[in-house]
Structure 1
């Protein structure tokens, strides 16, 4: 689900909390060494997300925020902000010339450059959180 989060909307905040959980507390954020990635360049998106990308040749930026039951991908289009809400059970990550995040029939591909390399620890943390979530809801043997 993609929301226009340019302006504060309490309904959006509640919807995000229902889908991926509310924000981590300050203590949890400190224990995890932060829950947000640095800004990354978006190389490519799926055709059904082209409408939220810059039409002119501007660079598209995005960043990721961890939540207890999923992630939020924030995409900037000029002065507008869009948030893509992805629960962990829908999240698929591919590492090909950067990183590609797939869910809900959509994808975002982040460019492999200096800012992406700075986010390596963040992606490791993201994968650890996804594994914890998957283990908590795995089928018993």
Structure 2
């Protein structure tokens, strides 16, 4: 789900919480060693996301927040903040050539440059957490 999260909206907040879970508590964040990614540079993306990013002339950057049942990939365009909400069972991550990670959810995708050790460590943490917390059967959803 791609959504504009610039403004407070209780219905949208409920959809996000139902999809990827509530934010981690401070104790859980400390235990995980942080839940946010460093600044990520977007190299390419799907048409819907690309249309939003092309509205301004800023660098195309994003960040990822870990949640108990998924991730939230946030980026800015003009003065608005957009989020791609991805539950773990729909998340596909590929590591390609030339230090690029690709994040897919259905027909949305974002390709991110992974030129620092911190980015690679974050993606490892994200994939390890996904492996430990992805439902193994339909009843677990």
Query: TM over 0.5: same fold?
Result: yes
Which runs of no fewer than 5 residues in structure 2 stay unpaired?
A: none
Which runs of no fewer than 5 residues in structure 1 stay unpaired?
A: none
1:112 deviation in Å? 3.2
Deviations for 1:34-85, whole angstroms, at most 9, x for unmatched residues? 1110111111101232222133543111000000110000011131100110
1:16 deviation in Å? 0.6
Query: Which residue in the other structure is 1:102 paired with?
Result: 104
Q: Is the 8 A contact 2:24 2:68 kept in 1?
A: yes
Equivalences, count? 136
Moved more, 81-90 or 54-63: 54-63
1:22-101 alignment, distance < 5 Å: 22-96=22-96, 97-101=99-103
Q: Is the 8 A contact 1:42 1:60 kept in 2?
A: yes
RMSD value, Cα: 1.7
1:105 deviation in Å? 1.1
**How many angstroms apart in 1 are the aligned matches of 2:36 and 2:10?**
21
**How many angstroms apart in 1 are the aligned matches of 2:122 and 2:33?**
9
Deviations for 1:77-112, whole angstroms, at most 9, x for unmatched residues? 131100110000110001113211011111000123
TM-score (ref. length: structure 1)? 0.88
Q: Is the 8 A contact 2:55 2:78 kept in 1?
A: no
Query: Which residue in the other structure is 1:137 paired with?
Result: 136
